[in-house]
Amino acid sequence: MDVPEPREISDATLAEMVRTVEPTWDLREAVPVERGFCSVSRVVVDDGGASRTLYLKASPDGDPRSIPTEARLQAVLDARTSIPVPEVLGVVDDGDALPTPYYLMTALPGEAVAYERVCRLDDDALRRLARETGRYLAELHSVPAVDRFGLVRHDGPELTGERPSGDPRPLTVAGSREEWPSYLREYAARELDRLADSRFSDLASDLNRWVEKRLDALHGPFEPVLGRNDHGLHNLLVDPETGEITAVLDWGYTLAAPAAFDFEFAVYIYGGAFLAGLPDVPDRRPLVREAMLSGYRTAAPDRAEAVSTPVPLYGALAAARIMNDFRHLDVPDGCEAAVMDRIRADVRSLVDG
């Protein structure tokens, strides 16, 4: 994917962007924030004599990308679930004078920690994080919003500074498929094509054959639900000592998929298997799976059966994504070969098993 550099936005422009959402607010301070490829700023505004800290998220280059959908999704989740998402105060979808699209949202407490730090949480903290993840996924999967498979988008009216509705009905699915195996075959083909050009290209041919056999054996029924699809500590705010999740951020890649697909990706990522090649990092997928199931059952006991049985195909595709993005992992110096060997062995155990 072509990832642009986030563009710089002047304080004067940010002040105008804030006033478009709320004309009575004056900008006191603005600080750029490193968060993905979007242009994100922490802004402090004067709200009738009191200061208020907010965040403004804008397109990095004028391309809408998923920013308008992300704002609507957060509004839906804020209205219909207990998932801790920032409250969206206003959205501006288009305009010639300002760097649109963008939206303004509230700040939530918690610490932003690196993706790889999940491997360093102690068992109790990881268990809590996994249990809360399971509960939040159960709530997400229960929102009645989609009836096809694919990336979630919206088909509502354009906004010029207003708050988005919490109504899920304008949510739609781009390039949708009615049949999950058809969509998953295309999804898997993209990941495996990338794998052939990665540092794990030696696995591509065998994994492709293994995936094809599993795709042929898939049988439903399959129910599309809103899926997180972008799991990782980098998209959360947490208390790293306790594992409490205080904010779930960045919803731009939400995917309509079966609940089990979303669940298995979370188990793989939070289980830390991708860094288990380090001598002091265990593979804690069993701990994470058990805790996630516990949390899922508390929020949606009637849906838990759909995620209770592991699906190796989905776990393999989660591993493929890690391999494709391996260059972005922060691996300790001198340990890359060991980590890569462990990932290869993990995938080989599936392919040869």
Q: What's this model's pTM, rounded to 2 decimal places?
A: 0.95
How confident is residue 244, by pLDDT bands cut at 50, 70 and 90? very high
Total residues belonging to the chain: 353
pLDDT on residue 61: 85
Q: Up-side HSE of residue 322: CA atoms within 13 Å toward CB?
A: 31
pLDDT on residue 6: 72
pLDDT on residue 156: 87
What is the mean pLDDT of the segment spanning 93-101?
Answer: 91
pLDDT on residue 4: 59
Closest CA to 84 of 43, 152, 133: 133
Cα separations in angstroms, 101 against 65, 117, 166, 170, 253: 9, 32, 19, 18, 16
Give the rounded percent of residues in the chain with a pLDDT score beyond 90. 89
pLDDT of 188 over the 60 cut: yes
Give the rounded percent of residues in the chain with a pLDDT score beyond 70. 99
Q: Which two tokens stand for residue 33?
A: 């924030």
Question: For the structural domain made of 115-351, what CATH number should be given?
Answer: 3.90.1200.10
DSSP string spanning 183-203?
A: HHHHHHHHHHHHHHTSTTGGG
Question: For the structural domain made of 11-106, what CATH number should be given?
Answer: 3.30.200.20
Answer yes or no: same fold for 11-106 and 115-351: no
How confident is residue 7, by pLDDT bands cut at 50, 70 and 90? confident
pLDDT of 281 over the 50 cut: yes
pLDDT on residue 1: 45
How confident is residue 195, by pLDDT bands cut at 50, 70 and 90? very high
Average pLDDT for the chain = 94
How confident is residue 146, by pLDDT bands cut at 50, 70 and 90? very high
Could you state, in order of their start, the residue ranges of all structural domains in the chain? 11-106, 115-351
